[in-house]
Amino acid sequence: MRETPRRADPLLCTVAAAQGRADQPIALFSALDDALKSAIGHKLFTILTYDDDTRDAARVYSNLPGPYPTGGRKRLATGPWTEAVLDRGEAYIGRSRDDLREVFSDHELIASLGCESVLNMPVRWRGRTLGSLNLLHEAGWYGEDDIAACLPFAQFALPALLTQS
């Protein structure tokens, strides 16, 4: 007989249960939003898909649809951020307004929402980045330990992102 009960992570269980709902992908994306807000924290949360051929990004979810509506698209210029996140599949942490200014053309809009730090977490399949979960918060919010905490949530987004492309 086992003495120590097994404990499942309730946030991961909620996200996993959302995958089985019929109202996809919004059920899953909303569950990810809620779980990540609780587990890591964010003011702005978006999910992007990436097209390898065109190097376009498309926003498929946003918790702030006013300033960041779904359906928005942009071409991503090659540089250190795209090489890290898209090509190598590495998470990116920007800790300050200056970090965001170097990487994002919409840094002023981001700052106007009270966000000065970012965690861009790639969603990977077969060695390719299909999209990313993007968490933004006040300056200095994200650290290296948040990458490991975010990884299982990011990979839960995979089935929905595969059907988006």
Cβ(57)–Cβ(49) under 8 Å?
yes
What is the mean pLDDT of the segment spanning 145-150?
A: 98
pLDDT digits (tens, 9 = 90+) for 117-132: 999 999 999 999 999 9
Bridge partners of residue 92, in order along the sequence? 120
Give the start-to-end residue ranges of the domains of the chain: 10-164
CATH 1.10.3720.10 at 10-164, yes or no: no
User: Kindly report the CA angle at 143 between 50 and 87, in degrees rounded to 5?
Assistant: 25
**How far is 119 from 132, CA to CA, in rounded Å?**
10
Q: What is the pTM of this model?
A: 0.94
* pLDDT at 99 (0 to 100): 95
